[in-house]
Structure 1
Amino acid sequence: MEAQIIQLAKEIVEAYHRKPTDRRLLVAIAGYVLAPPSEGPPDCSSPPGCGKSTIAYPLVSRVNALLGGDEAAICISLDGWHYSRAELDRMPDPVEAHWRRGAAFTFDLPSYRRFLQQLVLPISEAPPKLPFPTFDHALKDPLPSPTPLLPVHRIVLVEGLYTCLDINGWEDCAGLMDLRIWVDVDRETARRRVISRNFAAGISESLEKCAERVDGNDMDNGEFVRSHRMQPTHVVVSVDELPN
């Protein structure tokens, strides 16, 4: 996927140079299916499934390198906007909410939308330090990021399953993005990746239990997003790398 990352980085830099100097370039990176943080400890900065974050973070590094080492580009994960477990407990059906953690309704959409609305303001009018949440794997809940978004961060990549969703208020967020990158993968490859990595992360005690959860939640989320995505500006195909 290296060639795809290189080409994407070039196009992001070109779009960045076309923006006024007091505006940020916003880039959404979404994909077919991702394992949610759920009740287990997987690294939400590298969620399994479509390979989305396999692209997002190398892409940030490549963009910054093309800009001469400037730290203008930053990647933020939508996972920080998961509702906490305590908030899930207060939902009408807390059992379903915990089981479906990772579905669109288990995210704090109003808070996420307010954050993006600040990003589209002229930098001179936005707060000089913009806080945002991250996901704490030890607590299995979101926490404030230790470092805020700064004026120097003029290219913001937001990676997450629902960043290109076109319904139920999410379309307002997707519409604020300058670029929308969709990371595609076939269903069976996504399923295999999620089951394997969920098992490695200890979310379930057996591959069979992992498969049950993936088939009953993650794959449905992926199909939902595929069917309700805003038109992407770029499509990247995620493939398994061949061993050397």
Structure 2
Amino acid sequence: MQVTPQVLVRHIVDQYKELPENKRLLIAVAGPPGSGKSTLAYPLTDALNALILHHPPANPSHLEEPASNLVAESSDQQGQGDEVAIAVGLDGWHHTRAELDAFPDPVEAHYRRGAAFTFDLASYQAFLSQLRVPLTPESPAAIPFPTFDHALKDPAISPHPILPRHRIIVIEGLYTMLDEPGWRETAEMMDVRIWVDVDENVARKRLVERNFAAGLVDTREKCEARVDASDMKNGEHVRSRLVQPSYIFPSIEGQPSTSETFRLTA
């Protein structure tokens, strides 16, 4: 059946309300490169907070901001926050460039950075396991997690850790629903799985324009070659090895993601 984004938000909130008070709700948002995962995940997080709190959250989600541009909240500021949902990007679990240098083929590792094997899966698994531990008065005051610092070109610890009040965790990333050993187990830890689908030609166009504008290479031809060798290849890899999604979201050229519909698949 067809479900609007607003209805999806209500479905998730209803699911959250049925949770025991010591549990968290984990939501995966996955899709090929260029599909619009981030432009869905972060507004979704804010919408969840607004519906639960009955007002806009005190600390709206940060959309792909480099960690160096964020000002860490003091403990007093964190205590004044009220958001229940928080968004986390899988990109924070990229292996560092120094770690890639130690790979058997460092040249290939750097060129393919963004492929599943260039992520620190063990650290990501450990993070999810922490989120699955029931909340108690003795639970950690904060669970840190990494975010990708585009200025450093490496991960850095986010200044906005997971706090006990964060009962809904939205995790967006290419491999959050990958059906391969290790990754499959992390996907199965999710309570809700949202796949953002996109036409391959639309995704390629978006990626070329985005990467060329960012100055990653000096010619459009080089940019197209890199997108084809890395991003498009990674997207094909995930499409062919996908854990069953709960919802499929069609990302359409020229339409903002927040106005489109989800299709309930299970």
Same fold by TM-score, threshold 0.5 exceeded? yes
**Residue 217 of structure 1: how far off its partner (Å):** 1.0
Q: Give the structure 1 partner of residue 27 of structure 2.
A: 27
Instruction: Tell me how far apart the structure 2 counterparts of residues 117 and 126 of structure 1 sit (CA, whole Å).
Output: 13
Instruction: Tell me how far apart the structure 1 counterparts of residues 9 and 157 of structure 2 sit (CA, whole Å).
Output: 28
**Residue 50 of structure 1: how far off its partner (Å):** 0.2
Q: Give the structure 2 partner of residue 65 of structure 1.
A: 50
Within-5 A mapping of 1:1-244: 4-32=4-32, 34=33, 49-67=34-52, 68-69=54-55, 70-124=82-136, 126-241=139-254
Instruction: Tell me how far apart the structure 2 counterparts of residues 119 and 205 of structure 1 sit (CA, whole Å).
Output: 42
Instruction: Tell me how far apart the structure 2 counterparts of residues 227 and 216 of structure 1 sit (CA, whole Å).
Output: 17
Q: Give the structure 2 partner of residue 38 of structure 1.
A: none
**Residue 168 of structure 1: how far off its partner (Å):** 2.3
Structure whose CA Rg is larger: 2
**Residue 170 of structure 1: how far off its partner (Å):** 0.3
* Structure 1 consecutive aligned stretches of length 4 or more whose deviation exceeds 3 Å: none
Instruction: Tell me how far apart the structure 2 counterparts of residues 164 and 152 of structure 1 sit (CA, whole Å).
Output: 26
Residue pair 1:133, 1:142 contacting (<8 A) in 2 also: yes
Instruction: Tell me how far apart the structure 2 counterparts of residues 240 and 4 of structure 1 sit (CA, whole Å).
Output: 18
User: What is the CA deviation profile of residues 59-98 of structure 1, one whole-angstrom value per residue up to 9, with x for unaligned ones?
Assistant: 0111111012341011000000000000000000000000
- TM-score, structure 1 length as denominator? 0.90
Of all paired residues, the percent bearing the same amino acid is 57
Question: Aligned-residue CA RMSD in angstroms?
Answer: 1.4
Instruction: Tell me how far apart the structure 2 counterparts of residues 4 and 235 of structure 1 sit (CA, whole Å).
Output: 11
**Residue 112 of structure 1: how far off its partner (Å):** 0.1
User: What is the CA deviation profile of residues 5-41 of structure 1, one whole-angstrom value per residue up to 9, with x for unaligned ones?
Assistant: 3222111111111111110000000002x2xxxxxxx
**Residue 132 of structure 1: how far off its partner (Å):** 0.3
1:23 alignment partner AA: K
**Residue 177 of structure 1: how far off its partner (Å):** 0.2
- TM-score, structure 2 length as denominator? 0.82
Gaps of 5+ in 2: 56-81, 257-266
**Residue 166 of structure 1: how far off its partner (Å):** 1.3
Instruction: Tell me how far apart the structure 2 counterparts of residues 161 and 9 of structure 1 sit (CA, whole Å).
Output: 21
Instruction: Tell me how far apart the structure 1 counterparts of residues 186 and 255 of structure 2 sit (CA, whole Å).
Output: 36
